[in-house]
Amino acid sequence: MQLIKARITDYRSVEDSSIFDVEEDVTCFVGKNESGKTTLLQALFRLNPVEPAAFDEVVDFPARKTRDRKKLPADQKIPVVRATFRFDDTEMKAIGEDLGPKAMGSPEFEVIIGYRDDEAFELHYNEAAVVDHLRSALDLPAAAAQAIGDAKTIGDLLDALDELEEPPSAASALADRIRSWRDCDLGLYLIDNYAAPFMPKFVYFADYDTMPGKVSLPDLVRRRESGDLKRGERALLSLLDMAGVSPEDFQDSGQHERLIRELENAGNVISDEVFDYWSQNKELEVRLEVLAPEAGAQAPFQEGPILQVRVFNSRHRASVPFDDRSRGFVWFFSFLAYFNELEDAGTTDLILLLDEPGLSLHGRAQADLLRLIDERLAPKHQVLYTTHSPFMVDPDHIQRVRTVIDMERGGAKVSAEIFKADEDTVFPLLTAMGIEMTQTLFVGEHVLLLEGPSDLIYLDVLTEIAEANGSTGLDPRWVKTPIGGSGKLSTFVTLLGANKLNVAVLVDSSTKDVGAIQRLRDNDQLARNGLVEISEFTSAADADVEDLFDRDFYLGLVNRAYADQLTTPIDASELNAKDPRVVRQIEAVFKKRKIATRFNHYKPAAVLLREQAVLAPEIEAETIARAGQLFDRLNSLLLRR
Each residue of 167-192: pLDDT tens digit? 888 889 999 999 999 999 999 999 99
Report the SS3 class of residue 61. coil
Q: Is the pLDDT of residue 498 over 50?
A: no
520 — pLDDT class (breaks 50, 70, 90): low
Which candidate, 19, 113, 9, places its Cα nearest to that of 65?
Answer: 9
Q: Is the pLDDT of residue 64 over 70?
A: yes
Task: Give me the pLDDT at residue 518, please.
Answer: 62
Biggest CA–CA distance in the chain, Å, is: 106
Domain with CATH 3.40.50.300 in the chain: 350-420
Report the C-alpha gap between 493 and 451 in whole angstroms: 12
Q: Is the pLDDT of residue 474 over 70?
A: yes
| pLDDT, mean of residues 15-21 | 94
| pLDDT, mean of residues 496-518 | 64
Task: Give me the pLDDT at residue 129, please.
Answer: 95
3-state secondary structure 183-202: HHCHHHHHHHHHHHHHCCEE
Q: Is the pLDDT of residue 484 over 80?
A: no
Least confident of 76-80, 244-248, 460-464, 573-577: 244-248
Report the SS3 class of residue 150. coil
| pLDDT, mean of residues 510-520 | 58
CB-based burial, 276-285: b 16+ in 10 Å, e otherwise: ebbeeeeebe
DSSP tag of 397: G
Report the C-alpha gap between 104 and 190 in whole angstroms: 10
Name residues whose C-beta falls within 8 Å of residue 117's C-beta, 6 or more positions apart in sequence: 77
User: In the chain, count of helices (H) and strands (E)?
Assistant: 24, 20
Report the SS3 class of residue 132. helix
- Alpha helices (H) in 469-534, listed in sequence order: 489-497, 514-522
Q: What are phi and psi of 444, to 5 degrees?
A: -95, 150
CATH 3.40.50.300 correct for 350-420: yes
Cβ(446)–Cβ(638) below 8 Å: yes
Least confident of 296-300, 454-458, 536-540: 536-540
Q: Is the pLDDT of residue 283 over 90?
A: no
Report the C-alpha gap between 326 and 312 in whole angstroms: 13
pTM: 0.67
| pLDDT, mean of residues 403-428 | 83
C-alpha atoms less than 13 angstroms from C-alpha of 266 in its C-beta half-sphere: 25
CA angle, 280 then 281 then 282, to 5°: 125
Please compute Rg for the chain using Cα positions.
33
Task: Look over the chain and give the mean of its residue pLDDT values, rounded to a whole number.
Answer: 85
| pLDDT, mean of residues 445-468 | 88
Task: Give me the pLDDT at residue 585, please.
Answer: 92
| pLDDT, mean of residues 260-271 | 70
Task: Give me the pLDDT at residue 509, please.
Answer: 65
Task: Give me the pLDDT at residue 94, please.
Answer: 96
Cβ(366)–Cβ(392) below 8 Å: yes
User: Taking each helix axis from N to C terminus, what angle separates 256-277 and 231-243, rounded to the nearest 10 degrees?
Assistant: 110
Q: Is the pLDDT of residue 487 over 60?
A: no
* β-pair partners for 575: none
Task: Give me the pLDDT at residue 91, please.
Answer: 95
Each residue of 551-607: pLDDT tens digit? 999 999 999 999 988 889 999 999 998 888 899 999 999 999 888 778 888 899 999
Q: Which has more pLDDT, 332 or 635?
A: 635
Task: Please give the sequence-ordered ranges of beta strands (E in DSSP) within 96-213, or none if there are none.
Answer: 104-115, 117-125, 201-206
Q: Is the pLDDT of residue 379 over 50?
A: yes
| pLDDT, mean of residues 251-279 | 70
Q: Is the pLDDT of residue 523 over 80?
A: no
CA distances to 5, 109, 168, 190 from 87, in Å? 13, 8, 35, 12
CA distances to 334, 477, 486, 519 from 451, in Å? 46, 19, 5, 18
| pLDDT, mean of residues 612-629 | 92
| pLDDT, mean of residues 207-236 | 87
Q: Is the pLDDT of residue 287 over 90?
A: no
Q: 10 Å Cβ neighbour count for 60?
A: 19
Q: Which has more pLDDT, 501 or 201?
A: 201
Q: Is the pLDDT of residue 252 over 70?
A: no
CB-based burial, 28-53: b 16+ in 10 Å, e otherwise: bbbbbeebbbbbbbbbbbbbbbbeee
Task: Give me the pLDDT at residue 510, please.
Answer: 62
5 — pLDDT class (breaks 50, 70, 90): very high
Task: Give me the pLDDT at residue 43, please.
Answer: 96
